[in-house]
Structure 1
Amino acid sequence: MRVWLKVAVLAAMMATGAHAAPLDAEHAALARFAGHWSVRQSYWTSPDKPPAVDRGEADFAMVLDGRHLRQDLRIDAKDKPFQGLGYIGYDTAAKTFFSTWMDVNFTGFIVAKGGYDAAAGRYTFVGQTPDFDHPGANIPLREVLTRQDDDHFTYDYYETRGGRETQAVRLEYARVR
């Protein structure tokens, strides 16, 4: 009975926004990415080979009362269509940005944390991804999202294997008006 009461109180608090953190400048900065974008993807399968280049599109929207930026990415890859879903947000309690990602290529979920350099217009996140070649192991990763202007930004994804960081993906976004 006590557990049910706690759940009911928590649900009521959540419904009234009793614990909802106010939106701030960090959330407003993320909202600038909302919209429809064309995407050019460069994907490296090996650091010593040129990347495969494909085109696609992405939709970004602020969700959950403007607290999180959701991306739905679709790439028309020559060998297999790709779809991914990600979120970027700002945790006001921890004073840090976070990035989450899931896609059709794996059943896991990537979480990375980082910060924003306003002078450079750059978000940098660090985390880890599962190592499919070694089940149970993880690969360090770094994500860099760089805003050039209101209509252009890039996303660069790096993995560190054997102590060497290499770029695996570059996405170039252009706003569709």
Structure 2
Amino acid sequence: MRQIFIYSLPLFFLMITFISHAYAEEKHVTAPRIEMLGDDTMKKLLQYGESTEQRQMLTSLVGEWDYDLKYWTNKNSEPQFSTGSVVNEMILGDRFLSSKTSVILNIGGQSIPYEGWGVLGYDTTKNAYTSVWVDTLSTGTTVGIGQYNKKTNTLEEKGRFTFPLLKNEQEYRSELELTNDETHKKSIFISDNSGKEFKVLELEFRRKR
């Protein structure tokens, strides 16, 4: 524990310096930086880190789920099918939803074990849901941002991922439809070279019994 605290000190002091500097510039004052980190500033900082009511959407996804997976290698291909499972849990004081999944993919006639891990949360600074995803198919990171549509019970997200074969970033769009407490559905779309969007992934989740 003492080692962790020592290693954390530089990061803590860097945060204090950055916040104090920004606060001083905003107020156009020349007082010592550390003095600018008063009670009001600390309260404001801590408020940004608090869990919010938007987490209710996230907690509805907590638990163990089985899913049916359909995926398309291009817009004209027939879908491939597989099944998998995912475990969702709230972490870091219920601020983020952690998802860990495993599935066997059939790609080009080969069975490829796949594992993925992601984090989804609500960023109170951006007033948006943000996500990060990593998996065993690449060393890239998928990053997304979006809003929850209460009328349709759908989290609509846009983001970017690294496509290893082309060695560049690609944009995607996703829809997470919260049907009820026992089922939900996620669809992911990308665009072809002409800019026309098509579905590449569809996952239908059902809660494990």
Partner of 2:97: 69
CA deviation profile, 1:85-116 (whole Å, cap 9, x unmatched): 11111001110111211111110001011100
Distance 2:52 2:73 in 1: 39
Of 151-160 and 17-26, deviating more is: 17-26
Partner of 1:143: 174
Distance 2:208 2:160 in 1: 32
Distance 1:5 1:39 in 2: 43
Partner of 2:207: 175
- 2:71 pairs, out of 28, 37, 43, with 43
Q: Would you say the 8 A contact 1:139–1:161 is kept in 2?
A: no
Q: CA distance change for structure 1 residues 80 and 11 in 2, over 3 Å: closer, same or farther? A: same
Q: Which has the higher helix share?
A: 2
Q: CA distance change for structure 1 residues 92 and 27 in 2, over 3 Å: closer, same or farther? A: same
Q: Which has the larger radius of gyration?
A: 2
CA deviation profile, 1:34-63 (whole Å, cap 9, x unmatched): 000001110111221221110110000001
Partner of 1:97: 129
Q: Percent identity?
A: 23
Between 1 and 2, higher relative CO (CA 8 Å, sep ≥ 6) is seen in 1
Aligned counterparts, 1:5-84, within 5 A: 7-9=11-13, 19=46, 21-78=49-106, 79-84=111-116
TM-score when normalising by structure 1:
0.87
What is the count of residue pairs matched by the alignment?
171
- Aligned Cα root-mean-square deviation (Å): 2.4
Q: Would you say the 8 A contact 1:156–1:167 is kept in 2?
A: yes
Letter of the 2:72 counterpart: W
1:161 aligns with 2:192: yes
Q: Which has the higher strand share?
A: 1
Cα drift, residue 77 of structure 1:
2.8
Cα drift, residue 29 of structure 1:
1.7
Distance 2:121 2:11 in 1: 26
Distance 2:116 2:163 in 1: 18
* Secondary structure in structure 1 of the residue aligned to 2:56: helix
* Secondary structure in structure 2 of the residue aligned to 1:66: coil
Letter of the 2:205 counterpart: Y
Unaligned runs of 5+ in 1: none
Partner of 1:111: 143
Runs of 4+ in structure 1 deviating by more than 4 angstroms, as ranges, are 8-12
Unaligned runs of 5+ in 2: 1-7, 17-42
Of 17-26 and 65-74, deviating more is: 17-26
Letter of the 1:19 counterpart: L
* Secondary structure in structure 1 of the residue aligned to 2:152: coil
Distance 2:92 2:201 in 1: 28
